[in-house]
Structure formats: C-alpha cells, structure tokens
Chains A and B, each alone.
Chain A
Amino acid sequence: MSGSRNAKQIIKNIIFRILLGVVLLFYMFPLLWMVISSFKTQADNMSVPPVIIFQPTVQNYINVISDNPFLQYTFNSFYVAIFATGLALVFGLPVAYYIARFKCKKLAIAILLSRMMPGISYLVPWFILFSRLRLVGTYTGLIFTHLTVTLPLVIWIMIGFFEDIPKSYEEAAFLDGASDLTCFFRIMLPLVKPGLVSSGILTFIQSWNTFMYSVVMANHNTQTLPVAVFNFLSYGGIDWGGLTAAATLITLPVLVLALLIQRHLVSGLTFGGIKG
C-alpha cells in the first residue's frame, strides 16, 4: 500500500518536473535564441536544421556598434528615460501624497482612466500641438510624451506606499512645528524610499521600452534604441546576427534592472491593482 503510494508520488513528481521543464523552456527559449543567434554568423543563422554547435563570433556586435551611431542612440534612450523618470517623480510624488492623504477618489479614478486611454489617443493631439510649437523631434517633445506613460505609473504605485505610512508620524511632525513642506520632504520621503526606488526603476524600464511615441516624436538625431533597432528591419531576412545582437544590447539593461526590483515588479505592472 505504502509502496504503490510512493510510486504514485514519484510519478507525480516526474510529471511535475516535466511540466516545469516545459514551462521554463517555453519562456527561456526566445531569449536564449536571441543571445545565441547574436554570436552566430549569417550562414549559421540561415542554416536548416539550426546549428547547435558553432564557432561563436562577436563580429555582429562590432558591426552593430561601428556601422551605426549606436552610442548616440543609447545616450538618447538613457537621456529620455532618466528625464521622463525624474520628472515623473517630481510631479508625481506630491500628487500621490495628496491623493493618499486626503482620500481624493475622483483624482485617483482620473489617473486610472489615463491608464486605460490608448497611447495613440495621446499621440495624435500631442503631435499636432507639438507641431505647432515646433517641438516634434526634440528631446523635450519626446520626454513629454513619455511622461504620459510614466507619470500615472509613478502616482499609482506611490499612492500605495504613502497609504501604508501611519498618520501618527505626520501628526508628530506637525506637533513639532514642521510645515507641510518640511514634513513631506523630511519625513514622508525617507519613509517611502523603497517605493521610490522601485517605482523609479519601473518607470525607467517603461520609458526605455516605449516605442510608438518615439517612432513619431523622434528624428534621426534623437531617436531611441527601439526605434533605431526597428529600422534595422530592412535587412529582414538578411542580417539576423546583427538584428539579434542589437536586440540583445537593448534588452540587457532592462533585464538587469528588472532583476533588481523583481519583488515590486508585478504590483507595478498591474498598476498596483493587486494591492487594491
């Protein structure tokens, strides 16, 4: 009896392992394939059946970096993402604090609504307005459109963090004669530091990944990495090594950052929905 039960247990365990393996394979395969292909020559990439053992080459990376102003695009991406994140924090934190403290439901719903709006419904009016202001193609225009993604995100995540702080902290500060501002900067901000870090990183990732806004709002000199890589597509079917090398290069920073904040990632991506 106990024997058959044990056997059943073992079979169950094996099935479990297999399922786990399948899941892992499915999720890792495209990423692994991207990295592997980036070290292959064009002939190896085109061969059918696919080659597993091959002579790795870094030529693809050298080509990508030397044939294109890749560093310029990387700089653009960083520049835009840092500003879009920084400004989102500057504008977003007070709003989040306000909503959390005064339970301003209407504003919260407005922000949720902004999350629901399709990106393109910002893009069309902003594009027209920015055209009139001659801001299309500039960093300013680009950062501003990225803000429509990052700002609501920061606010929504930070509301949760501010709500977690007990009111007594604040009251104590007011009793000591602190003003609103000092209270906010001296007491609240340090308390939500972990939230600050994770929402900052998450917004950075979002801005880094943003594609549609950048295609329209950036020009040759200000385009970000996703746009630049999209433009490699002409070689579609021609230079897979170069494409995957470029893809690897833009994904790498994001993956590293994501690992840093993995704990907060899910709640951030669902826009704090899980907390509520």
Chain B
Amino acid sequence: MMNKRLLMISVILVVFLSAVSTSARDIDWRAYKGTQINVQLAQQPWADFIKGEIKEFEALTGIRVNLSILPEDQHRQRLAVSFASGRGDVDVFASQKHNEGVRYLMSGWYEPLEPFLNNPLLTPKDFDFEDFASLTITDATVEGVLVGIPLYSEVQIVYYNKALFAKAGINVPDTLEELKNAAILLTDRKKGVYGITLRGRGAAATTIFSGFLHSMGGSWADSDRNPMLNTPEAIKAFEFYAELIQLAGPPGSVNNHWFQCQSLMASGKAALWIDSNIFAATLLESDLANDIGFAVFPEGPGGRKPAGGGWYLSIAPSSKKQKAAWYFIQWALNKENVLKAQLNGIPTARVSAWEAPQFKELDRTPELTKATLETLQLEGTPSWGPPWVAVGEIRDVIGEAIVTAIQGGDIRSVADSVVERIQIIRDNTEKDLQ
C-alpha cells in the first residue's frame, strides 16, 4: 500500500519535473532546416545590420534566408503589388502602421502574431515579449491585433552639426522660432553650407511635416477623421515648413528623401536635419561622426509634438513557411541581437537593450539616447502619417501641397483643395476598403 502511494507520487513528480524541463528547454531550432524564406526589408540601418548577422541564423537553424533590401518607396510598392497578386513569395516583411497598417489588416495581408508568440514550441521563453517598450507594441498593434514585432523606438529628432554651431556661437534651438533663426544664420550659400535640410519629396515629406503640423497646434484630422489641413494652424505649419526650406535649405530640396538629407548631413553641408532617429547609425560611420549632435524636437505654439511610430516585422498570410518565418523574426529580435543592434547606434524597441550596462558603457551617442528617451516621455505623440485608409494616395496629395508651398505657391488655396481632394478620396475608397 505504502509502496503504491510512493510510486504514484514519484510518477506525478516525474511528470511534473519533465514538464518543467520542457518549458525551460530551448525550442527545437533545427525543426525547419532546409526551408528557404524570403525576407523583404526597407533600406535602413537595421536592415544593413541584420544582413551581417544572417549567416549565424542560417548556421543555427539550417533555414536559408533570401534577403531583399529595397529603397523605401520601391519596397512599399513591391510589397503591395506582391500581396495584391497573391504570389506567396514574401514570408517576412517590414512595414509601418501609419502607412500599411489598416489597409493591410483589412486586406488580410498581416498574419496575427499572438498565436506564434504564445506557442512554447515556436518561441523560447527568454524571448520575453514584455521587454518591448509598450509604446512600440502599440505601434505594432492595428485595431487590437498584434501584427508585427517592433524594430525601433522610432521618433522624430533633431540632428545638428556641432562644429557649425560652435563656430557661429549659438545654442541648439529649443523652439521652432529659434530653429528658424538658427537655420537662417547658419546658411552660407557661397560655401555650399545650408542651415537645414528637410525632406521635400512629396509623399516622403509628409512624414517629417507631421511634427511641424502638430507642434503648430494643427492635426491631420478631427475625431471623425475629417481632414483638418486647411485650419489656420495647418496653414501656418505649411508656411513654416516651406519658409525653412526656402530660406535655409539646399537647392533641389523638393526631390530630397531622407537619404539625400542624410548625405548632406554626413558631408557637412547641412547644419540641421530633422528626421527619424533610426538613421543615426549611418552617420556614425561618416568622417563627421564626432561632429553630429542630437536634440529633442523644438517646441512650437501647439507644444512639443514630434511624430513617432516605428517599423515592425510581420509574417505574410500567403506565406507557406510561416513557422520558419517566425523563427527568423523571433531570432532577429531576441535580446542578444537587439542589444547588438543597439550597440551599433540603432534605437531599438527593447527596454533591456536601453538599460543594459554594456550599452550604457559603450554608448557612442549618449546624446541620441537622451534625445530619444526624452521624446518617448512626451505625451500624445502624433503619427507620422494621416489616418485614412487610402494613405498612399493621400500622402501624395499632401506632399504635392508641401512642394507647392516650398515653391512659393498660394498655400491657402492649395490647402483647401487638399482637403477637398481628401474628402473625395475618402468617399471613393473607405466604403470599399472597410
């Protein structure tokens, strides 16, 4: 009798212990060896970083990664065309809520990630999803569905050239007014030095415009998503953005995307640049690395409202290799790799990376860290992009208005026609897409 009970207890104990050891044990990394997955990313510092690490993933899992890195515009177009055509040739892809979010979700182009995340056979325990900053998780959640694992703690910040500021003997601007004055003061057209470089290329410029719009007290839309781009605040923002470029920007600004701005910054031809913080890493490799400073977005009449919202990695529902695809995502964004990226100057999404003693010690850009963290503390960060479903077309329309403003066109009438046009696009698209 006694013996039997003992046996039972020991059986229970064994079962219990083995269960514990399973959950503690690592997942089977070789489960999908021999699979080949296609990963499509936009050209950014993180993409360059992960390109160098992929060999390790292939060795660990035996999964072959076919990495395709395209410039942002081409990346977006190819993704949309690829999904619209239903060809299952993209397994993992990077996208951004304000651009792809709602439309992709409605079209069924995002695979919900919760099931993968919660499956102990696919996700090792030390992946620790809680470690991702809550703001970044919000960025990767569309209408309550977790559609991606965040890559960045991405916010709009100020890049500036310390040497040029020191020479002119002025401080880093803290208000929009100061920003304008500094930019004008630092412009020396004869020497080919410009006070500020900002994106001017239509749709791409809307992203950077967002921070200016909201700091002027404006907004993309009201709570019913009616466009608010012809309010006095919005018009002031258009004027301000255009004036900055007219008075202190380089020639050809209306065609500049972030990479042109970045190269102007890297060659010392621009004193200020306002853009996303994720592009810092490339500048750290330039000759001027030590001259580049970082600051929080300046305050305007409507407060300090730099835009934010980061890229994330998702799985395509049309993919036939979703589990292997998930392996790639959870490996690429595990604690170790994220820390490595963080040490390379990339503002990642994991709290542990920001707080790692290693990072605090080796941080090459404490100023960038400070500016990013301070920005993240701000309340009510606006989105990079307008909130409508047909965001691609609407971004083009708003971008055209920015170009017109830079060219010195009549901003008021342009703004009115933008609002009118957005209403038409909404009428024609939102019904069907929703």
Contact assessment for B71 and A220 in the assembled complex, using a CB-CB cutoff below 8 Å: no
B138 within 8 A of A: no
Residues of A within 8 A of B263 (CB): 237-238
Contact assessment for B82 and A137 in the assembled complex, using a CB-CB cutoff below 8 Å: yes
Q: Which residue of A lies closest to B66 (CB)?
A: A220
B378 within 8 A of A: no
Contact assessment for B259 and A236 in the assembled complex, using a CB-CB cutoff below 8 Å: yes
B260 within 8 A of A: yes
A46 to B260, CA, bound (A): 13
Residues of A within 8 A of B81 (CB): 136, 216
Give the number of chain B interface residues (Cβ < 8 Å).
22
Which of B72, B74, B260 is close to A230, meaning CB atoms less than 8 Å apart?
A: B74
Give the number of chain A interface residues (Cβ < 8 Å).
21
Contact assessment for A220 and B86 in the assembled complex, using a CB-CB cutoff below 8 Å: no
Q: A136-B87, A230-B74 in contact; A237/B38 too (CB < 8 A)?
A: no
Residues of A within 8 A of B72 (CB): 234
Shortest beta-carbon distance, A46 to chain B, in Å? 8
Residues of B within 8 A of A220 (CB): 38, 40, 66, 68, 89
User: Among residues 207 to 257 in chain A, which have CB atoms less than 8 Å away from a CB atom of chain B?
Assistant: 216, 219-221, 230-231, 233-238
Partner-binding segment picked from A29-37, A79-87, A126-134, A154-162: A126-134
A134 to B318, CA, bound (A): 12
Shortest beta-carbon distance, B61 to chain A, in Å? 21
A236 to B43, CA, bound (A): 12
Most A CB within 10 A of own CB, among B40, B71, B257, B260: B71
Q: Which residue of A lies closest to B82 (CB)?
A: A219
Shortest beta-carbon distance, A122 to chain B, in Å? 16
Contact assessment for A219 and B89 in the assembled complex, using a CB-CB cutoff below 8 Å: yes
A136 to B68, CA, bound (A): 18
Residues of B within 8 A of A136 (CB): 81-82, 85-87
Q: A220-B38, A231-B74 in contact; A134/B86 too (CB < 8 A)?
A: yes
Residues of A within 8 A of B43 (CB): 234
Contact assessment for A127 and B259 in the assembled complex, using a CB-CB cutoff below 8 Å: no
Q: Which residue of A lies closest to B256 (CB)?
A: A237
Contact assessment for B38 and A131 in the assembled complex, using a CB-CB cutoff below 8 Å: no
Residues of B within 8 A of A233 (CB): 71, 74
Contact assessment for A127 and B85 in the assembled complex, using a CB-CB cutoff below 8 Å: yes
15 A-B pairs with C-beta separation under 8 A: A131-B84, A131-B85, A131-B86, A134-B87, A136-B86, A137-B87, A138-B87, A216-B81, A219-B87, A220-B38, A221-B66, A231-B71, A233-B74, A234-B70, A235-B259
B residues neighboring A (CB under 8 Å): 38, 40, 43, 66, 68, 70-72, 74, 78, 81-82, 84-87, 89, 257, 259-260, 263, 267
For the complex with contacts A131-B84, A221-B89, A238-B263, 14 further pairs of A-B residues with Cβ separation under 8 Å are A127-B85, A131-B85, A132-B86, A136-B81, A136-B82, A136-B85, A137-B85, A137-B89, A219-B82, A220-B66, A234-B43, A236-B259, A236-B260, A237-B259
8 nearest A-B pairs in the assembled complex, by CB-CB distance: A234-B71, A136-B85, A131-B85, A220-B68, A137-B87, A234-B43, A219-B89, A237-B260
